Structure 1
Amino acid sequence: MEKEDVVSWTAMIAACVQHGESLDALELYWRMEQEGIKPDKIVFVSLIDACSCLGDLRQGMRVHERLHAGGFDIDNSIASGLVNMYRKCGSLTGARSVFNKMDRNDLLSWNALIAGYAEQGDSHEALQVFRWMACEGVKPDGVTFNSIFGAFSSARFLCEGKAVHARSAACGIDVQTVGISLVKMYGQCGSLDDAKAVFDKLASKDVVAWSALIGAHTQHGHGLQALQLYQGMKEEGVKANDITFITLLDACASTGQLSAGLEIHAEIVAAGLESVGFVATALVNMYGKCGQLSTARDIFDRIHPRDVVSCTAMISAYVLHACHREALELYFRLEPEGMKSDRVTFLSVLEACSSLTALEQGRAVHASIVSRGLDSDTGLKNSLINLYGKCGSLKDAESLFDCMRCRDLVTWNSMITTYSHHGRDEISLEVFMQMKLDGIQPNDVTFVSMLFVCSHAGLFEDGCKCFGSITADYSMELTVDHYNCVIDLLGRAGNLDEAEILVANLPEPCSVDWMTLLGACRIHGDADRALRTAQRVAELDPDSLAGKVLLSNIYATARDWDDKGEIFT
C-alpha cells in the first residue's frame, strides 16, 4: 500500500490477533503510533485481546494508558475486555478497579471477575462476587457456573458447592455444559460419590471427563479405584492423553502398583508421550516411589530440559529409600547448573543432610534457602532446627528457634527433641511448659519426647504425670511408643514389678516392649526376671539375637550361668 490509514492498520492488527499473532499485533500498534497514525477506539478492542492472550500486564497497562490519553469513552464492551485482560494478567486489583468504575456491569465482566478470584484460589471472594451478581439481578450462564465451581477446592466448600449446583439446575444449565467442572469440584471437595453421580449423567464422556474422575480418586488416596476406572475408560474406547497418564502414574506411585505402572509406561511409549516433560517427571516419581531407582534415574537422565519438578522427584525418590548420599550428590551437581530449588526440594535435601549428619552440606543448603528468599518458611526452619540438632550444632538450632515469629507444633517438638539429644533435659521441660503457655496443644510425638526426657533424667514423678495427662488432659489414645517410654521410665526407676505387669497387660505386647524391660533388668542386675523376659522376646521374635546377647551379658555380670542355657537352644 502506498499509504496506510487507520482503517488498514486496524484491520491488520485485528487479523494478527484473530490468528494468534498477539505479539505482532502489539508491535504493529507501536509502529502505527511512531508513524503518526492516530488510532480509533476499535483498534483498542484488538489490543486488549492481544494483551489478554499474552498475559502481559506491562503491555496491558500501557494500552490502557493510551486509551485514557486518547480521550476515548470507555463503554461496557471495552471495560469488560479490560476486566478480563487484567484478570488474565494476574492483576485482580486492576480488574476490580475497572469493574467498580463501570456504569453497568455486564455478564462478561462478572464472569471475568469470578474466574479471576477462582484462578487465584480466593474461594471466599469468588463466592461473594457470585452472590453480589445474583443480588444485582444478573442471570449467570454456563461460563459463570464453570468458574464458580472451580473456586470450591476443599471439603469446607462442599455445602456451598452443592447449593450452587442446585442453582445451576434451576437456571436451566444442562449438566453436559458444567459436568466436567462439577466432577472436578466434587472431587476436590472429597465427595467421590457425587463426582461419580454427575459423571454417570454425562451423555458424552470424553477423555477430559474420564481424567477428571480418575484424578478425583487419585487425589484422595483411592489409587486402585482410579486404575479400575481407567480400565472402564479403555473399554469405552476413549484414548488417554498426557493428563490421564500423569494422573494414572500418580495412582501407581501412591499405591505401589509397579506392574500397573509398567503397563501404563508401555502405553505412554506407544502414544509417543514418553519425552513430554510432565509425563517423564511422573514416570520418575512412579518408579522412584516403587523402589526402582535405577529405572527412575535412567528416565531422569534423558529429560531435557530438566525443571525443578523433575529434579525434585529424583532427589525425593533417593531420600524416600534412604539413598541419602545419592540425593546430595545429585542436588550439588544440579544446583550449579541453574536448578532453582523450591520448598519441596529443600525439604528433601535437608532430610538427607540430617540423616547423614552432614553439617557442612547442610549449611550450604541453608545458604541457598536464604538466597532464594525462603528463609521465612516455617517448614524449612523446622527442618533446619532438626538438622542442626542432629549434627550437634545446638547454638545454630537455638538461634533459628529464637528468631522464629511463627512457631508451629513441629517447631516446638523439634526443639524439645534437640535439647533432649544434647542432654539438656531441664531445658526440654522448660520448652514444653512454654509451648503450653503459648497455646500449642502437644501431640503424640511431643509426649514421646517428654517421656524420654523424664526417663533419662530420672524424673520419675514428672514422667508419670506426663503419661497420665495424655488421656486425662488431652483425650489422646496411647501408642506403642508411649507404653515403651513408660516401661523404660519404670525400669530405670527400679520399679521392675510394675514395668513387668504393664508389659504383660498390654493389648498387643511386642518384642521391643519386652526388650525395654530386659534392658532395665540389666541395669538392676535382676537375672531371674531377665530370663523370663528373654523367653518372651524369643517367643515373639525367634530370629532376634539381641535379647539373647543382652541376657548373656546380664548373667556374665552376675556370674550366674545356671539354667541360662535353655534360652539359647
Structure 2
Amino acid sequence: MNSLLNKKLHTRISPFTLKFVSSLAVVENPSSFPSENDQSPSHFDPLQFFNDYTKSRQCTTRNTKILHTHLLRTDLLQSNIFIANSLLDSYCKSSAMVDALKLFDFIADRTVISWNMMISGYNQNSLFEKSWEIFCRMHSSGFEPNEFTYGSTLSACTALQAPTFGKQVYSLAIKNGFFPNGYVQAGMIDLFAKNFSFDDALRVFNDVSCQNVVSWNAIISGAVRNGENMAALYLFRQMCRGVFLPNSFTFSSVLTACSALEEVGVGKEVQGWVIKRGAEDVFVGTTIVDLYAKCGKMNEAVKKFSRMPTRNVVSWTAIISGFVHKDDSVSALKAFREMRKMGEQMNKYTVTSILTACAKTSMAEEATQIHSLILKAGFYSAAVVGSALINAYSKIGAVDLSEMVFREMENIKDLGTWAAMISSFAQNQNSGRAIELFQRMLEGSVRPDKFCTSSVLSIVDCLNLGRQIHSYTLKIGLVSVVSVGSSLFTMYSKCDSLEESYKVFQQIPDKDNVSWASMISGFVEHGCADQALQLCREMLSEEVIPDQITLTAILTACSASRSLQTGKEIHGHALRKGVQQDVLGGAIVTMYSKCSAQKLARTVFDMLPQKDEVACSSLVSGYAQNGYIEEALLLFHDILMADLTIDSFTISSIIGAIALLNRLSIGTQLHAHIMKVGFNSDVSVGSSLLTMYSKCGSIEDCCKAFVQIEKPDLISWTAMIVSYAQHGKGAEALRAYELLREQGIRPDSVTFVGLLSACSHNGLVEEAYFYFNSMVNDYGLEPGYRHYACMVDLLGRSGRLKEAALFIENMPIEPDALLWGTLLAACKVHGDMELGKLAAEKVMELKPCDAGTYISLSNICADVGQWEEVLKIRSQMKGTDVRKEPGWSLV
C-alpha cells in the first residue's frame, strides 16, 4: 500500500483522494475494522469514509476507479458487502453507470441494497429503461424487493410513461405485503397522475386508510397537474381536517390550484395557513406572488415580492409574467432590468415572458435587445425561447426576422418552433409561405401537431387543399382534437361548403364553447339563422354552459333571424348568470335593433356603464334602418359631443340615413368631418359616401369619394358600377367593371345586376347578353329574378318585345309578377296590345289584386281606341274589388 504514496502517483492523484487511500491502508486486513465497543478515533470508519467521499467534489469517476483498484488488491470487495455497496454508490453518484454495472455483476453476494443502488443510480442518470431492466433481473433472480425498490421502480415507470409496467410493479408490491406502505402508494399515485389518469390515482389514494403526508402531497399535486384544481382544494380541506399537517410542498401545490382557478380569496386563506405553520420558504413565497399576479392583483403581488427575504429566478419570473398578463410591458421590462441588476441569473421561462412583453410594434427595439441578450447568454438552443422569439417578431410585424430566427434554429427545430413560424405567416396573412412550410414538415421527419395543423387551416381558402389536410388529420388521428376539428369546419364554412362544415362539427367528440360558437356563427354568415338557433337549442340540451363568446354568437343568430323572443330569453339568461352588461352590451343592442325593438335597444344602451363602438354603431344603424332618421342623427351628434370613439361602421350607418333623407347639405358636412378624422380612405365609409352622393344625384362627388378609397373592394366597385348605371353612364359602368377584373376581384351577382342595369339604360343589348352569359360560364353564378328582369327590361326598351317574351318562356325558373309586369310596361310604351294582354293575364294570375296591371292594360286598349275593352277591364276591377289609389302631389 505504501507504494501508492510514491512521487509518481502523487502527481496523478488529488490530495483528497490520497487521504482516503491512506486511510484504507489500515483495512488491508479485514480484522482491522473497529469493533462495536471500540471508540478509538485512530481506527478507520468506512461509513464515515464513504459518506464524506460521495458528498465531496472529489467523487469523480477517475478517483472512484483508483479506490476500486486499491480495494481489489485488498480483497475487501469479496469479503465486505458494505464496502462493495459503498463503492457501487460512488460510481452511481459520479454518473459512471457502465462501471457501476461491471462492479454490480462482480459482487457475488448482492443484497437488496445493491439492487436498489443500481435502480436509483439509473434513475438519477435518466436511464429509466435500464432501471426497469435491473428490476426485472432482480425479480427473476428471486430477490425480494423492499419499499425503496418498488418506489424507485415506480419512479422509472413514471418517467417512461409506462403505466402498464407500473401496475405490474404495484400488483407485486400488494402481493408481497407492501399495500399500506406510503412510499409505494405515493409512487403509484405519482405514476397515474403524471400519465393523466387522475381517477386511477385517486382510487389508489382511497385504497389505503393509513395515508401519510407524502401520499397527500402526491394526490394533491397530481390533481393540479391534471387540471383538477377544485379536487385539489377539496383534498386539501380533507387533509387539514385529519391528523396529517400540510407542509411547504402541500402549500405550493394548493396555491398553484388557487392561481389556476383565480380563487384569490381561498389563496389568502391558504396564505394564512402558511403563516400560522411557519412553512414559508422561497418556493411557497413564489407561488403566493404567482397567485396574486395571475388573479390580476399586481399591487399585492409586488408587495409580497418585495417582502420576500430570499428570491430566486422563479420568483422574478412570476412577477414579470404577472405584469405581462396585465399587459403592462413597461413594468415587466423594469422588473427584468432590476433582476439583472441584482445579479440573478435568468432562465428560459424568464426569457419567454419578457419576449411576450416585447411582442408589440412599439417595442421593436427592446425585442432586438432581448434577442442580443439571448445570444450572449446562450439560450438560443432552447426551442421554447426560439418559438417565443419567432412569435415576438411576428407580433411586431417583422416576419423576415422571424424567418431568420427559424433558419438559425435549423438543427434544434422542434414542433414548437415550426408551429410558431406557421402561426407567424398566418397572422401576417402570408398563406403561401405557411402552406409551403407545412408541406416541408410533411416531406421531412417532423410530424405536424395540433397547433401547426390548426394554424395552417386558419388561412386555407382553397377547398381542395383543405380536403387534403382533412385527410391527413384523419390519418394521424388529429381530427378528434377539438382545436383541429374547429379549424377544419371553420375552413369548410369559409370555403362556402356549409354541409361539410357541419359534418366535421358533428364528429368532434368533446365540443367546447369555441367550437359551438364558431359553428353557430358559420350558419349565420351563410344566411341560415334558423339552423343557427336550432344548434343553440342542441347545445343547451347537452348541458353546455354558454360563455361570453357563445352568447354573442347566439345573439347574432337572433339578430339575423329577427327572433326577438329568443333574444329576450338569451338576455335574461345572461342577467341570471351574472354576465356583466357591458360584456354583451353591443350584441344585445344589435339584437334589439335588428328586431326593430328600438325602445329596448335604447334602454339597454342607456344602462351600459361604458358605451363601446359596437353598442354605438348598433343603435345608430338600428335607428337608421328602421326609419328613425332624426333619432339616428341626434344620437350621432350626442356621440360626437361626448367624445366617444366612433368607428367606420357607425359613420357608414349614419351616411346611409342621410342618403334616405336625400339631404346633401348634411352629407357634405359629415364628409368634411370624415376627412378630418381620417376615415375618408376607409373602404366601408367610402362606399357609403359614393352611394349617398349617387342617391342625391351628384355623380361627380360620387367619383371623388371613390377615388379617395385606399383599397376599393368588391362592394366599392359594385356601388360605383350601380351609380354609373343609375345616372345613364353605361360606358363608364362597363369600364369600371373591366378595371374591377384587372384588380383580380371576383364579381358577384350584385355586380352583374348593376352591369345589366347599365346596359338596359343605354340600350346595349349585345353587351348585356355577353355579360349575362359570362356570369354563368365564367363565374358559375346562377341568375336570379333581378338579372332576368334587367334583360327583359332591356329587350322591352329596345322594342324587341317578342324576343323578351321568348326569353321569359325559356327561363329555367318560374317567372314572377315582376318579370311579366316589366314586359307589360314595355308593351304599353310600344303599343303591342296582343302581347300586353298576355303579360297582363300572367300578372293577374300571380297578383290578382294588383291595380297597376289593370290600369296598364286599360291604357293600352285606350291608346288603340278599343274602348269596349277599356270598359270590360274597368268592370273586372270592380268585380274583383280592386281599387286604384288616387294620385297626390306635394306641390
The TM tier, using the shorter chain, reads: 0.7 to 0.9
Which residue is equivalent to 2:130? none
The structure whose RCO (Cα within 8 Å, separation 6+) is larger is: 1
Deviation at 1:352, TM superposition (A): 2.2
Which residue is equivalent to 2:292? 19
* Alignment partners' CA distance in 1, 2:797 and 2:538: 60
Deviation at 1:539, TM superposition (A): 1.0
* Alignment partners' CA distance in 2, 1:155 and 1:256: 32
- Secondary structure of the equivalent of 2:712? coil
Q: Which moved more, 1:121-130 or 1:157-166?
A: 121-130
Amino acid at match of 1:197: Q
* Alignment partners' CA distance in 2, 1:294 and 1:120: 44
* Alignment partners' CA distance in 1, 2:711 and 2:491: 29
Which residue is equivalent to 2:683? 378
Which residue is equivalent to 2:156? none
* Alignment partners' CA distance in 1, 2:406 and 2:681: 35
Deviation at 1:53, TM superposition (A): 2.7
* Alignment partners' CA distance in 2, 1:139 and 1:483: 55
CA separation of 1:93 and 1:373: change in aligned 2, threshold 3 A: farther
* Alignment partners' CA distance in 2, 1:236 and 1:466: 50
Q: Is the 8 A contact 2:776 2:783 kept in 1?
A: yes
Which residue is equivalent to 2:559? 253
Which residue is equivalent to 1:56? 328
Per the normalisation by structure 2, the TM-score is 0.52
* Alignment partners' CA distance in 1, 2:574 and 2:558: 14
Deviation at 1:545, TM superposition (A): 1.2
Q: Is the 8 A contact 1:288 1:296 kept in 2?
A: yes
* Alignment partners' CA distance in 2, 1:347 and 1:255: 23
- Secondary structure of the equivalent of 2:799? coil
Amino acid at match of 2:691: N
CA separation of 1:108 and 1:96: change in aligned 2, threshold 3 A: farther
Which residue is equivalent to 1:205? none
Which residue is equivalent to 1:197? 507
Amino acid at match of 1:547: T
Which residue is equivalent to 2:40? none
Q: Which moved more, 1:421-430 or 1:64-73?
A: 64-73
Which residue is equivalent to 2:700? 395
Match of residue 531, structure 1, among 825, 837, 855 = 837
Which residue is equivalent to 2:855? 549
Matched, 1:98 2:370: yes
Which residue is equivalent to 1:80? 352
The aligned runs of 1:478-493 (5 Å cut-off) are: 478-493=783-798
Q: Which moved more, 1:128-137 or 1:345-354?
A: 128-137
Amino acid at match of 2:584: V
* Alignment partners' CA distance in 1, 2:873 and 2:758: 33
Which residue is equivalent to 1:455? 760
Q: Which moved more, 1:413-422 or 1:160-169?
A: 160-169
* Alignment partners' CA distance in 1, 2:403 and 2:564: 42
* Alignment partners' CA distance in 1, 2:529 and 2:364: 37
Deviation at 1:182, TM superposition (A): 4.3
* Alignment partners' CA distance in 1, 2:287 and 2:593: 50
Amino acid at match of 2:292: H
* Alignment partners' CA distance in 2, 1:461 and 1:232: 53
Which residue is equivalent to 1:564? 870
Q: Which moved more, 1:111-120 or 1:369-378?
A: 111-120
Deviation at 1:220, TM superposition (A): 0.8
Q: Is the 8 A contact 2:693 2:699 kept in 1?
A: yes
The aligned runs of 1:412-423 (5 Å cut-off) are: 412-423=717-728
CA separation of 1:112 and 1:365: change in aligned 2, threshold 3 A: farther
Q: Is the 8 A contact 1:118 1:148 kept in 2?
A: no
Matched, 1:344 2:649: yes
Match of residue 290, structure 1, among 580, 585, 595 = 595
Residues matched between the structures, number = 539
Which residue is equivalent to 2:53? none
Which residue is equivalent to 1:8? none
* Alignment partners' CA distance in 2, 1:473 and 1:45: 59
Which residue is equivalent to 2:106? none
CA separation of 1:543 and 1:293: change in aligned 2, threshold 3 A: farther
- For residues 235-293 of structure 1, the C-alpha deviation after alignment (integer angstroms, 9 at most, x for no partner) is 555544444433332333333333333333333333343x5212233222222223333
Q: Is the 8 A contact 1:447 1:470 kept in 2?
A: yes
- Secondary structure of the equivalent of 2:516? helix
Which residue is equivalent to 2:803? 498
Q: Is the 8 A contact 1:51 1:59 kept in 2?
A: yes
Deviation at 1:397, TM superposition (A): 1.7
The aligned runs of 1:13-412 (5 Å cut-off) are: 19-20=292-293, 21-22=297-298, 45=317, 48-62=320-334, 76-87=348-359, 95=367, 98-99=370-371, 101-102=374-375, 103=378, 104-106=380-382, 108-110=384-386, 112-113=388-389, 136=412, 138=414, 151=455, 152-156=457-461, 181-182=483-484, 184-190=486-492, 191-198=501-508, 200=509, 202=510, 210-221=512-523, 224=530, 227-228=533-534, 230-231=536-537, 234=540, 239-273=545-579, 276-404=581-709, 406-412=711-717
Which consecutive unaligned segments of at least 5 residues does structure 1 have? 1-10, 33-38, 203-208
Deviation at 1:294, TM superposition (A): 2.7
CA separation of 1:272 and 1:469: change in aligned 2, threshold 3 A: closer
Q: Is the 8 A contact 1:80 1:99 kept in 2?
A: no
- Secondary structure of the equivalent of 2:358? helix
Amino acid at match of 1:422: H
Matched, 1:510 2:854: no
* Alignment partners' CA distance in 1, 2:409 and 2:343: 30
Which consecutive unaligned segments of at least 5 residues does structure 2 have? 1-283, 421-448, 493-500, 877-891
Deviation at 1:536, TM superposition (A): 1.6
Amino acid at match of 1:288: S
Q: Which moved more, 1:429-438 or 1:510-519?
A: 429-438
* Alignment partners' CA distance in 2, 1:129 and 1:70: 29
Which residue is equivalent to 1:7? none
Deviation at 1:13, TM superposition (A): 11
* Alignment partners' CA distance in 1, 2:361 and 2:739: 46
- For residues 319-370 of structure 1, the C-alpha deviation after alignment (integer angstroms, 9 at most, x for no partner) is 4445444433322232221221112222222222223323233334333433
- Secondary structure of the equivalent of 2:557? helix
Per the normalisation by structure 1, the TM-score is 0.77
Amino acid at match of 2:507: A
Amino acid at match of 2:575: V
Q: Which moved more, 1:179-188 or 1:515-524?
A: 179-188
Q: Is the 8 A contact 2:320 2:353 kept in 1?
A: yes
* Alignment partners' CA distance in 2, 1:461 and 1:163: 47
Deviation at 1:541, TM superposition (A): 0.8
* Alignment partners' CA distance in 1, 2:536 and 2:738: 53
- For residues 417-439 of structure 1, the C-alpha deviation after alignment (integer angstroms, 9 at most, x for no partner) is 22333333443344445545555
Amino acid at match of 1:19: Y
Q: Is the 8 A contact 1:316 1:327 kept in 2?
A: yes
* Alignment partners' CA distance in 1, 2:520 and 2:626: 22
Deviation at 1:509, TM superposition (A): 1.1
* Alignment partners' CA distance in 1, 2:748 and 2:537: 42
Match of residue 521, structure 1, among 795, 820, 827 = 827
| Percent of residue pairs identical | 27
Q: Is the 8 A contact 1:56 1:89 kept in 2?
A: no
Amino acid at match of 2:564: L
Q: Is the 8 A contact 1:253 1:287 kept in 2?
A: yes
Larger Rg: 2
* Alignment partners' CA distance in 2, 1:440 and 1:217: 28
Deviation at 1:538, TM superposition (A): 0.9
* Alignment partners' CA distance in 2, 1:244 and 1:495: 56
Q: Is the 8 A contact 1:223 1:255 kept in 2?
A: yes
Q: Is the 8 A contact 1:196 1:213 kept in 2?
A: no
* Alignment partners' CA distance in 2, 1:252 and 1:59: 43
Which residue is equivalent to 1:5? none
Q: Is the 8 A contact 1:210 1:233 kept in 2?
A: no
Amino acid at match of 1:189: M
